[in-house]
Structure 1
Amino acid sequence: MATKKIPFSILELATIGAGFTTTEVFQNSLKLAQKAEEFGYKRFWLAEHHNMVSIASTATSVLMGHIAGGTKKIRVGSGGIMLPNHSSMLIAEQFATLSALYPNRIDMGLGRAPGTDQTTAQAIRPDRMQAVYRFPEELKNIQQYFSTENKHAKVRVPIAEGVHMPIYILGSSTDSAHLAAKEGLPYVFASHFAPTHLFEAFHIYHNNFKPSKYLDKPFTMACVNVLAADTDEEAERMSTSSIRMILGVLSGKIDYLQPPMEMTLQLQQISMNPAVQRMMKYSFIGSKDTVKVQIAKFLEETGVDEIMVASHIYDPEARIHSYRLFSEIMEELENEKWEVLN
């Protein structure tokens, strides 16, 4: 049994439910972050997606300011900034500004995926494919902007120089595992939607990790989906919103997150589709006791240093309750672990 304490965090996509305004979605994101702070979550990260009617998390840095300004101690970060969409200098300026406003609370998670379809990615940045290949170089540029040595450079971000900015490399395949290992940076895997290469990526990262001034040993985090409720039946009903959302993604007919409904034979058949099964491999759905067994197994199998949770739950109060139950699960697992050890 693992002996380390496992922190738990949230990945927020600001999912837009049918009938909700964008303003209400952002208000609900902040309320969730405030509750997460109470429940003992370590981080609250915001995703970056574009041209998706169901997701409002597009301007990641702006949303981070909204969340950090309405909370007191929870770490706020990007999960992540899709760096090829941006100028590394402007990202350094944005995050240095956030760090000055909310000292010692800002995380920078960086990925290389577009966070959208290829047509939209081209609209965001016509030279995006070249930027993808320059991802390691752009990472170095950001690290340079935050270094004290950069004060002698011609191109500077003065407000970033000397600021401690934790950087995390995000991945959904094996590519970024090599980069995170080479640069000695923490590695975060998007197993909540791309679980196929989770263990292979972790194997690459652990076997090739080189200690750095940022990190002396490997650090892994994995994201999973959790839909927890008071009963298995209630959680199953909540999951109908997610199943229909996934179907929309796979069919190219993305719509707002729909209210839950009773599980039908058709939805059960959809949920058993191999493509849906792959996406939902690490979706833990059920009562607290049910999810607890699934989470304990996942933590044991992966050996992650931290777990991040995402959820697509239509009702804001049901979503808060799900995150409350998950925090209780993590606390119970921690207490049980120490009872065994002692």
Structure 2
Amino acid sequence: MPTKNIAYSILDLAIVTKGNSTQQTIKNTVSLAQKAEEAGYTRFWLAEHHNMPAIASSATAVLIGHVAQATTTLKVGSGGIMLPNHSPLIVAEQFGTLGTIYPNRIDLGLGRAPGTDQETARAIRSDFMDAAHSFPDEIEKIQTYFSANNQNSKVRATIAEGVDVPIYILGSSTESAHLAARKGLPYAFASHFATAQLFPALKIYRDEFMPSAVLSRPYVMTGINVFVADTDEAAERMATSFIKMIVALLTGTKRESLDEACEMTPDLRETLEHPTVQQMARYTFIGSKNTVKNQLIDFIAKTEVDELIVTTNCHNQEARIKSYQLVAEIIQEINQG
């Protein structure tokens, strides 16, 4: 059992499921956030993606505000804002505004990837590659805009000055680990899809961490896919939509929506066990409450994480909410020893 309490949070992509409209998808995201608040989740993050018909979180800051309005205590933020797509000044103004409206409830997770294909990235910002290389400097600019000491600068984000919006470095490689450690910022690793460098990245971050004004010791979050139901078989059925989504990603097939669940056929099971799919889905936990509890105890022991950020991409909204509720129960039981 862990020697510290593990926080638990949600990463939601606002995925459009087959048979549902984008409007209903957003309503489902809000409903999930409200249930997450009731279940004791720490934060609810939304991710920026573009030119993906099945994902409704492209205007991430707008959706964050919508979710924050519908909840009262839950921290709401970005997992993340893909900073090379944006002007640091505009990001500071947007999140400074959110932090002013919802004090102490807004998180700003920042990533370097485009969250889309290269052609779309160029359509968003023609100098995307230059901005990506300038990622550390762009973060520095955002920190400056949020600083109360920026009042005498010629360029200011006045709505952000002195507003408490914690910054998190998101990453899927060791490069991001070096940066998060150097800046003394909390680090969220995208191990729900980028699994290969999880442990090297965590070691680098912890070994190189430099205390900062915002953080005295390393703080690690890891992304995981979790599907929990009353039985292993029901959880496997729920996860079939996710398996088909992975295959579409790996084959470059652009889907309009997330498929309905189906029986776990021999073909689907064989697909899940394919080395390429296994690599991407290594930190995916599927089963009954007891099955997943044992898996999570092992994962927490190996990673020594401070916080798990869970994503459950399935078709049925009720099953998804129930899965998150069961995950909350599992973590609470683990914390109680």
1:221 matched residue in structure 2: 221
Alignment RMSD (CA, Å): 0.8
2:273 matched residue in structure 1: 272
> Between the two proteins, what is the percent identity of the paired residues?
57
Paired amino acid for 1:333: I
Q: Number of matched residues?
A: 336
Q: Give yes or no for contact 1:85–1:124 (8 Å, CA) kept in 2.
A: yes
The Cα shift of 1:236 comes to 0.7
2: distance between equivalents of 1:278 and 1:263? 20
Which stretches in structure 2 are left out of the alignment for 5+ residues?
none
Report the TM-score, using the length of structure 1 for normalisation: 0.97
Superposed structure 1 runs of 4+ greater than 6 Å apart? none
2:50 matched residue in structure 1: 50
Matched, 1:37 2:37: yes
Q: Give yes or no for contact 1:190–1:223 (8 Å, CA) kept in 2.
A: yes
Give matches, 1:250-261, under 5 Å: 250-255=250-255, 256-261=257-262
2: distance between equivalents of 1:284 and 1:307? 13
1:237 matched residue in structure 2: 237
- Higher alpha-carbon deviation: 46-55 or 177-186: 46-55
The Cα shift of 1:172 comes to 0.6
Paired amino acid for 1:162: G
2:209 matched residue in structure 1: 209
The Cα shift of 1:2 comes to 2.7
Paired amino acid for 2:258: L
- Residue deviations 1:173-203 (CA, integer Å, cap 9, x gap): 1111111000100000000000110000001
Find the residue that maps to 1:108 and give its secondary structure: strand
Q: Give yes or no for contact 1:245–1:254 (8 Å, CA) kept in 2.
A: no
1:325 matched residue in structure 2: 326
2: distance between equivalents of 1:260 and 1:212? 46
1:311 matched residue in structure 2: 312
2: distance between equivalents of 1:114 and 1:4? 35
- Residue deviations 1:34-79 (CA, integer Å, cap 9, x gap): 0000000000000011111221111110000010000000000100
Paired amino acid for 1:165: V
Report the TM-score, using the length of structure 2 for normalisation: 0.98
2: distance between equivalents of 1:316 and 1:2? 31
1: distance between equivalents of 2:232 and 2:153? 59
1:2 matched residue in structure 2: 2
Matched, 1:136 2:139: no
Q: Give yes or no for contact 2:188–2:220 (8 Å, CA) kept in 1.
A: yes
Q: Give yes or no for contact 2:2–2:334 (8 Å, CA) kept in 1.
A: no
Which stretches in structure 1 are left out of the alignment for 5+ residues?
338-342
Paired amino acid for 1:298: F
Paired amino acid for 1:161: E
1: distance between equivalents of 2:21 and 2:85? 26
- Residue deviations 1:237-272 (CA, integer Å, cap 9, x gap): 111111111110011113111011111121122111
Q: Give yes or no for contact 1:192–1:224 (8 Å, CA) kept in 2.
A: yes
Paired amino acid for 1:154: K
Paired amino acid for 1:60: T
Give matches, 1:49-88, under 5 Å: 49-88=49-88
Find the residue that maps to 2:151 and give its secondary structure: helix
Paired amino acid for 2:70: G
